[in-house]
Structure 1
Amino acid sequence: MLKKTLVALSLGAALFGAGQALAADYAIDKQGQHAFVNFKISHLGYSWLYGTFKDFDGSFSFDEKNPEASQVKVTLNTASVDTNNAERDKHLRSGDFLNVSQHPTATFASTAVKSTGAGTADISGNLTLNGVTKPVVIAASFVGQGDDPWGGYRAGFEGSTTLKLKDFDIQKDLGPASQEVQLIISVEGVRQ
């Protein structure tokens, strides 16, 4: 579930906190495992089921002096869904949910970034999941930025959004408490 691969998403906007004075491009630190696209959905209204997508890639551009010009692009491998239960993950990959055989990727591309306060922003964009493209908004917050121990420069954010399953043609009915999934995104980018 999902999506929001968005992951990536929130990135740029959230970064307007402090630091760089010029526009810069960042690659999501996928190889260092410093980025996560997680989700949670209610299980029958009694508890939360958590999961993650283990394979995604993306980039963002951020200009501290003009955060509204920031951009985010993310691609997610839907078959990389992992809820720590092989049978459930197999079901999530099926046509009942992510339909990974026909839609192996989910994508997010930002269309606008709007500052909502000190170190926070709404990142609007188009999310394509299960063959359906819909506008979504990720509420993002800046985590930090600066030099890393390897001679690079990094910036990070976290963000979240809630998706209605039926909006993305996921028709499996999991009961009234499980119609929406929350995406939680934590991303660290390395300046290129």
Structure 2
Amino acid sequence: MKNLLTAAAIAATTFAAPAFSAAEDYVLDPSHSQILFSYDHLGYSTTWGMFSGFEGTIAFDQENPAESSVNVSFPVRSMFTGWEARFDHFMAEDFFGAGEDEMVTFTSTSIEVTGEDTAMITGDLTLNGITKPVVLDAKLNQTGEHPMAEKPWAGFDATTTLVRSDFEVGAFAPFVSDEVQVMISVEASKAE
């Protein structure tokens, strides 16, 4: 009988349900969240652009990051190119033909944890009215109490490569590279 009770105790300990953990909502800090993109221009230069000041949410589960999720959206017209004529060309029919309310959105569909602070985030990117799956190679930079805001904070970086023609904005490829390198860096604060 003693052996049966010991075995039952070991089994109960081994197969006990893990402690409950739930994702907590974090909101992006628009003043410290940027998306940089770059592409090769005719082999002569690397040209850069940026989106900044956007908003979004992260449902962040620190104990089980695979259960986290990301949802971000921003107007395509919030693009910054550093040269007004280039911006105007990007918004014209050669590229986006973007109206005032054209949005870029990313909604995660799965997260594969690849290391202590890294993950591959798969999601649906909608750009130019076309939705395609995209994988972000992401890294958690830091979590903790923000020293000035005095609330929980998190920072993440991510990279990916997009193919312009997949979203029907591939004008002048291959002279202007069809591949666009994307670098993302965001900060987020725990929602009130």
TM-score range, shorter chain: 0.7 to 0.9
Single out whichever of 66-75 and 142-151 deviates more from structure 2.
142-151
Q: Aligned pair in 2 of structure 1 residues 134, 103: CA closer, same or farther (>3 Å)? A: farther
Query: Partner residue of 2:29?
Result: 29
Cα deviations across residues 9-58 of structure 1 (Å, max 9, x unaligned)?
Answer: xxxxxxxxxxxx7531100001xx11101111111122210110134210
Give the SS at the match of 1:82: coil
Q: Percent identical across equivalent pairs?
A: 39
Query: Partner residue of 2:135?
Result: 137
What CA distance in whole angstroms lies between the structure 2 residues aligned with 1:54 and 1:29? 10
Query: Partner residue of 1:10?
Result: none
How many aligned positions are there? Answer: 170
What CA distance in whole angstroms lies between the structure 2 residues aligned with 1:140 and 1:189? 15
Q: Aligned pair in 2 of structure 1 residues 159, 67: CA closer, same or farther (>3 Å)? A: same
Alignment root-mean-square deviation, CA = 1.6
Q: Tell me the TM-score normalized by structure 2.
A: 0.83
Amino acid at match of 2:114: T
Query: Partner residue of 2:122?
Result: 124
Give the SS at the match of 1:178: coil
What CA distance in whole angstroms lies between the structure 2 residues aligned with 1:54 and 1:151? 24
1:77 corresponds to 2:71:
no
Query: Partner residue of 2:7?
Result: none
Gaps of 5+ in 2: 1-20
What CA distance in whole angstroms lies between the structure 1 residues aligned with 2:122 and 2:35? 17
- CA positional deviation for 1:98: 2.3
After TM superposition, the runs of 4+ consecutive aligned structure 1 residues lying more than 4 A away are: none
Gaps of 5+ in 1: 1-20
8 Å Cα contact 1:75-1:106 kept in structure 2:
yes
- CA positional deviation for 1:134: 0.2
- Rg larger in structure: 2
Q: Aligned pair in 2 of structure 1 residues 158, 56: CA closer, same or farther (>3 Å)? A: same
1:44 corresponds to 2:42:
yes
Residues 1-192 of structure 1 aligned to structure 2 (within 5 Å):
23-30=23-30, 33-101=31-99, 104-148=102-146, 149-176=148-175, 178-192=177-191
8 Å Cα contact 2:77-2:100 kept in structure 1:
no
Give the SS at the match of 2:90: helix
